[in-house]
Amino acid sequence: MIRSENLSISFGKRILLEKESFTMQRGEKIGLAGRNGSGKSTLLSLIAGEREPDSGKIIIPKNYTVAYMKQKLSFTHDNLIDECASCLPEDCRHEEYQAKKILSGLGFYDSDFLRSPAEFSGGFQVRIELAKALVSGRNLLLLDEPTNYLDLPSTTWLADYLESWPGEFILVTHDRSFMDRVVTHVMLIHRARMRKTPGNTQKMYEQIALEEEVYEKTRINDEKKRREVEIFISRFRAKARLANLVQSRIRALEKTQKAQKLEKIENAEFDFPYKAPEARYLLSARNLLFHYQPGNELIGGLDLDIQKNEKICIIGKNGKGKTTLLRLLAGELSPSAGTVKKHEQCLIGYFGQTNINRLHPQNTVLSEVQQSAPHLPARVIRTMLGNLLFTGEDSDKKISILSGGERARVLLGKILVTPNSLLFLDEPTNHLDMESCDSLLEALINFEGAVVMVTHNELFLNSLPDRLIVFQPEGPEIFYGSYQEFLANGGFREEDKLKQKKNKKPEINRPEKTGKECKKTELALVKQEIRRLEEILENLEKSLKTSENMIIEYAARGESFKISELSILLASQKKEADENYSRLEMLLLRQEEIEEKYR
């Protein structure tokens, strides 16, 4: 289908690809992986014909068409539906319903169709570019970070769409879970080489790691043999009787190519310093309400308590108030009604999308981070920046020339230089590569404080939260459980179905919900989670009792090794039990609050 021959790309002295070749067969759906700056977007632009390689060529069959969704935005029509319909195949230009179907899947409403593309926010403009690529009916889709700025429902819709896509695509994304779900092959750009294998990202990275381990062991072994030969030549070069043997070794040495030691590739390392407050609850919100226009509430009547070590993720459609809620909790916005109270010892670190835009373009990376910790010596901050891959002179770069991923790392650096008790993070994985996302996830799991995070990244959602704040069509709700449990309980409620229910048979003088009915609904959710936790704790107590009895038994036998193993297990079980008892206590307090609220 498509193939490249001896492809070379470079920027100045930096080589991205050197005489690389690849093929793409019919039906293949390829995830293109690699670190930031490795050349992924450049390769897509080469396949799209928007730039030329330094050498080599890309061969595309005749009449094989390509659609390219790129980061650069370009609009030519006055309204959204015309903009997208203009990308339909020539014989389908009148079939606007196809464009409307895809736009709806990406989170646009019927009322948006006649709006100018220029009126939408940057995130929705990226969606428009994605919609234009999807409606084009081309054989091959080139998708450059299509999930950036998508909310979770739209990301799920896009994954379903790509799974059923009849043609081929090449996908660049930082979302490992998303890529693994939709691709048949992974192609990795690594050390200026390209490698394609069937399967998912984990299989690819494991294979690369194994090959590099074997390469390095072989190189060390060959280097040892080479030194032995060199010592032999040096020792016996002057011996006439051994002249032929020496010359033979010299010729063999000259024919043997010396393997170069692999340069160590550094990963970004995040380590959030923690300041422990003398409080169980860091922040409380009561009857929180916010609107930009009276009568049109984004957030209405939300109650929330954040404990000092819990992890909460906020999910829902874009434009429903996720970022607004985070800004209210962080103190960047004032509520229209209700209260947000922070414990006096609680220190907050805030990563917001608008904060990236507030980075001063003329500051260097070092001076920008120093503003957050002027008391720290420059050498300490440079060391921390080195962990974020700003090594050497990179810390003296101006903000204005940094990529999106680099700016995100600078903003995270401003949080990393000071201790915090509570982190508020708004889509921090946008623009980060997979390796940086993995490091960030590990750091957040290990952070001893609390985290409240807006994200659509399912790798984080499956690994991090203890509970969720879910923006449903009726408003934000707290879900006491994991993301997997949320999906098992039905996930997001569909707005269209709710509207149909409301419009199906309107009732005259239909009374609003009474306080008793509201109380019943809220209590049912809390009691359901209490029952679930009680079952978990009952099983844990049984396991603890078993472990303790076994330790006593092994102690009587003098089997110290097994006692050590069981002690580790027992400590883990106790920690899990303590965490669940804390959650249960919080829910019991919440139950009392609901009872008091409707008394």
Q: CA 390, CA 494: separation in Å to the nearest integer? A: 44
pLDDT beyond 70 at 221:
yes
CA distances from 534 to 38, 577, 582, 584 (A): 50, 11, 12, 8
Q: CA 599, CA 593: separation in Å to the nearest integer? A: 10
How far is CA 286 from its chain centroid?
31
pLDDT value of position 66: 93
Domain annotation covers residue 214: no
Residue 186, Cβ neighbours under 10 Å: how many? 24
Residue 54, Cβ neighbours under 10 Å: how many? 13
Mean pLDDT (the chain, rounded):
85
Q: CA 354, CA 13: separation in Å to the nearest integer? A: 35
Cα–Cα–Cα angle for 537, 539, 541, rounded to 5 degrees: 65
Residues 88 and 153 in one domain: yes
pLDDT beyond 90 at 232:
no
Residues 59 and 197 in one domain: yes
Give alpha helix (H) positions in 293-428.
Answer: 322-330, 353-357, 365-370, 378-387, 404-416
Beta bridge partners of 172: 144
Q: CA 153, CA 107: separation in Å to the nearest integer? A: 8
Domain edge (last residue) among 205, 225, 247: 205
Q: CA 83, CA 357: separation in Å to the nearest integer? A: 28
pLDDT value of position 513: 43
Residues 340 and 413 in one domain: yes
CB of 426 closer than 8 Å to CB of 353: yes
CB of 433 closer than 8 Å to CB of 405: yes
> Under 8 Å CB-to-CB from 160, ≥6 apart: which residues?
none
CATH number of the domain that residue 90 is part of: 3.40.50.300
Name, of 115-129, 377-391, 579-593, the range with top average pLDDT.
377-391
Domain annotation covers residue 17: yes
Residues 59 and 136 in one domain: yes
Print burial letters for 96-112: b (CB count within 10 Å at least 16), e (below 16).
bebbbebbbbbbbeeeb
Could you tell me which residue, 530 or 159, shows the higher pLDDT? 159
pLDDT value of position 334: 93
Residues 433 and 562 in one domain: no
Residues 178 and 292 in one domain: no
Residues 522 and 438 in one domain: no
Domain that holds residue 94: 2-205
CA distances from 104 to 93, 108, 109, 131, 496 (A): 18, 5, 6, 10, 11
Q: CA 508, CA 117: separation in Å to the nearest integer? A: 41
Span of 118-122, 241-245, 411-415, 510-514 with lowest mean pLDDT: 510-514
Domain annotation covers residue 463: yes
3-class DSSP state of 505: coil
Query: Two tokens at 571?
Result: 């400590």
Residues 557 and 465 in one domain: no
pLDDT value of position 23: 93
CB of 89 closer than 8 Å to CB of 136: yes
pLDDT value of position 500: 45
pLDDT value of position 510: 37
Domain annotation covers residue 188: yes
Domain annotation covers residue 433: yes
Amino acid at position 479, single letter: F
Provide the number of structural domains found in the chain. Answer: 3
Domain edge (last residue) among 467, 496, 525: 496
Span of 153-167, 511-525, 550-564 with lowest mean pLDDT: 511-525
pLDDT value of position 585: 77
Domain annotation covers residue 266: no
> Under 8 Å CB-to-CB from 447, ≥6 apart: which residues?
272, 274, 423
Residues 484 and 523 in one domain: no
* Residue 498 pLDDT level (bands cut at 50, 70, 90): very low
Angle between helices 404-416 and 378-387 (to 10 degrees): 130
Of all helices (H) and strands (E), which one includes residue 289?
A: strand 281-293
Domain edge (last residue) among 496, 527, 549: 496
Could you tell me which residue, 149 or 101, shows the higher pLDDT? 101
Question: Which residue, 401, 407, 404, 331, is CA-closest to 369?
Answer: 407
Domain annotation covers residue 349: yes
Question: Which residue, 437, 379, 28, is CA-closest to 197?
Answer: 28
pLDDT beyond 50 at 135:
yes
Name, of 28-42, 207-221, 486-500, 546-560, the range with top average pLDDT.
28-42
pLDDT value of position 494: 72
Tens of pLDDT along 271-290? 999 999 988 899 999 999 99
Residues 465 and 345 in one domain: yes
Residues 138 and 106 in one domain: yes
Residues 342 and 486 in one domain: yes
Domain annotation covers residue 384: no
Residue 56, Cβ neighbours under 10 Å: how many? 18
